[in-house]
Each structure stands twice: as C-alpha cells, then as structure tokens.
Amino acid sequence: MDLYLDSADREALGPLLRTGVFAGVTTNPLILERAGVRLGEVPELTRWLLDAGAREVFLQTTTSDVEAVVAEGHALRALSDRVVVKVPATVAGLTATAELARAGVPTLLTAVYHVRQAVLARAVGAAWIAPYLGRMTEAGRDGRRHVEQMQGILTGSGTRVLVASIRSVDDVHRLAVAGIDAVTVSAAVARELLEEPLTAAAVDQFDEAVTRLR
C-alpha cells in the first residue's frame, strides 16, 4: 500500500515528508483553503512539496465546464511531470478526464461514492479514483465494502484506488489487509500512524541500558 498525505500545511507536511514514508501529497480546494493557500500560490506550493520530498503531487481542477477543466488540467500538469490532475467525478469531469487521458495527462477522479463510478473511471482512462471512505460510511453506506469492491473491479486495469476521507489508523490497517492500492491521510492520522506505544517503551528500555553501560 502506498501512503499519501492529504494536506497543504507546510509546517505539518515538512517533517512527515522527511521520513520518506509518504509517496506524495494530495490537495483539493478545501484543503488549500484550510491551509490559507490561494489558487495563485499553487505553483509555488507544488515546487515546495516536490523539493520537500513528495514524489507525486495531486492538484484539483477548479472549473466545471469541460473545455475549462481540460485547459486547467494541462496547465496543472505543466507545473511538473510529477503532478496528477484531480477531477471531480461528474459528467463533465468524466468527459474532461477522457480527453486528458487521451493526451497523456494522468488523472484522478475524486469524490467517488459508488462502485459504478469506478467502472466509469476505468472506461475513461483515469489513472486513479479517490473514494471517500469516511463520508460514504457517514452517509449510511458500507464504505469499506464499496472500496473493496472498487479495488476488485480495478485490479489489473491500470486505474488505481487511492482511498481518501480516512478517519483513523484502524481504517489504514483494515484497508491494507484488504489489499487496497493506496490511502491518503491527514497530518494528524499520519503522525498517529508513525507512533507505536510498545515500540516507544522498548526504546526507553534501550536508552536506560545505554545509560547503565556508560
């Protein structure tokens, strides 16, 4: 399973990217807003993320017209060959994704809530889908079952599953066991993921032994 960070907060991202654990960073307009990043600052943020250790950066389009989404997708991809263009899984988004895919632009269909959307993503050549696990579950759907079925449909197709809206490290654990391709987590969940109390206790014992050995 590949791990990504769902944030645009540089202070939080810097130490996490430095670990080398996380493959990259995913963003969307809400995440940018929370971090105080204006749309005009996205190119500079992208450069910073890549320099800080992100191997991939996912940037979302902000328009709704097909032609505008396609143009914006090309502009985002022009920032770096390590940028993946995120497009909401609407009819216009699917249409734009098909055009971008034909032009060789890697795309991720985001805000995916149903298995049928995974079928559609495969049909238009999306490189990724981002199902919203937590939001599906909170809406009364069996989020984990939907995600596992999406993975089953897409395995071997060229379209990968990047699960978003992760609420806890337990979600990551269960998805990893289920063979999910990738997840993207908040900085808070990422920090919790890196911590294990029993490991910390063992390290304390090692440190005490080192002190006695001096």
Mean pLDDT, the chain, integer: 97
CATH topology of domain 2-213: TIM Barrel (3.20.20)
Cα dihedral 129, 134, 136, 142 sign: positive
pLDDT in tens, 18-69: 999 999 999 999 999 999 999 999 999 999 999 999 999 999 999 999 999 9
When pLDDT is cut at 50, 70 and 90, the band that residue 109 belongs to is very high
User: Residue 147: its pLDDT value, please?
Assistant: 98
Tell me the average pLDDT across 136-158.
96
Q: What is the dihedral of CA 7, 13, 18, 22, to 10 degrees?
A: -10
Q: What is the pTM of this model?
A: 0.95
Residues known to be catalytic: 86
User: Residue 49: its pLDDT value, please?
Assistant: 98
Cα dihedral 202, 204, 206, 208 sign: negative
When pLDDT is cut at 50, 70 and 90, the band that residue 200 belongs to is very high
Tell me the average pLDDT across 159-184.
97
User: Residue 195: its pLDDT value, please?
Assistant: 95
